[in-house]
Structure 1
Amino acid sequence: MAWGVGANDVANAMGTSVGAKAITIKQAIIIAMVFEFAGAYLAGGEVTSTIRKGIVDPELLSQDPELLVYGMMSALLAAGLWLLIATTFGWPVSTTHSIVGAIVGFASVG
């Protein structure tokens, strides 16, 4: 999933700067690495909490915690695979919509 986020979203942020020759590709990669890490480190906890508890109530699956683990892992795998496919073909796709859709799909089946 992390690779898909970087491969898909970094081009949106850096494409115009590299295209205008304001920065080189190497500089864009370094800037992206720094800010992707900083964003995950500084804001990742809140995002993870929302994804973990804000979409599906974990209490609904408290009798079967393995189902919750398998469902969340399946959602992560499905969203990551979708990002990989979309990035390979150059399709614009939202990483947020991908993971939220995968979790909603799991919740509706589970």
Structure 2
Amino acid sequence: MERVFAVLMVFTACAMAFAHGSNDVANAVGPLAAVANIVQSGGEIAAKSSMPWWILLLGGSGIVAGLIMLGYRVIETVGRNITELTPSRGFAAELAAATTVVLASGTGLPISTTHTLVGAVLGVGLARGISAVNARVVGKIILSWIITLPVGAGVFPNPIFFYF
């Protein structure tokens, strides 16, 4: 049965890639698109605006560059270190995450693809019992999520903002 799920994971991996692009590229380039549209309209803020193709290309290139540079570490942590993933468990986690992200993107709800996938993998692990989950790895992930917001919002940008 695991062989069947190994083949089906090709489709859920494609769905996850689509979800990643539909959600994260839009989240990443949204502010740039807003600035570009304000500049193009001469300073007027429009209720609706177009998305220039070069901004989408820039966003897609950024996603690819990030995956090439550090993606392997994230993939290893999520795919191997949280819990043991068999093809059937990986299929369930990817299907749940891809569906959630695509539905959220379709409704305009900004969510994190990575957080969603980690939650799905954690759920698959917890279905086998709490002992099936590597609590140390999950603790590090949660701590990184907690630290990211204050560091990203306050510690790093403020000196740069006031310096320039």
Which bin holds the TM-score, normalised by the shorter protein?
A: 0.7 to 0.9
Matches within 5 A, 1:29-44: 29-44=56-71
Tell me which of 106, 111, 115 is aligned to 1:97: 115
Aligned residues: 101
TM-score by length of 2: 0.56
User: Sequence identity, in percent?
Assistant: 32
Distance 1:37 1:96 in 2: 15
2:105: which partner in 1? Answer: 87
Distance 2:122 2:67 in 1: 23
> Are 2:27 and 1:12 aligned?
yes
The Cα RMSD (Å) is 1.8
Deviations, residues 43-91 of structure 1 (Å, cap 9, x unaligned): 22111111122211x3xxxxxxxx7210011101110011111111111
1:107: which partner in 2? Answer: 125
One-letter amino acid matched to 2:80: K
1:52: which partner in 2? Answer: 79
Distance 2:61 2:110 in 1: 23
Distance 2:96 2:108 in 1: 18
1:73: which partner in 2? Answer: 91
1:25: which partner in 2? Answer: 52
User: Which structure 2 segments of 5+ residues have no match?
Assistant: 1-15, 41-50, 129-164
1:3: which partner in 2? Answer: 18
1:61: which partner in 2? Answer: none
1:64: which partner in 2? Answer: none
Whether the 8 Å CA contact 2:100–2:116 is kept in 1: the answer is: yes
Distance 1:106 1:51 in 2: 12
Distance 1:104 1:16 in 2: 32
Distance 1:34 1:10 in 2: 9
Runs of 4+, deviation exceeding 2 Å:
none
Give 1:12 deviation, angstroms.
Answer: 2.1
User: Which structure 1 segments of 5+ residues have no match?
Assistant: 59-66
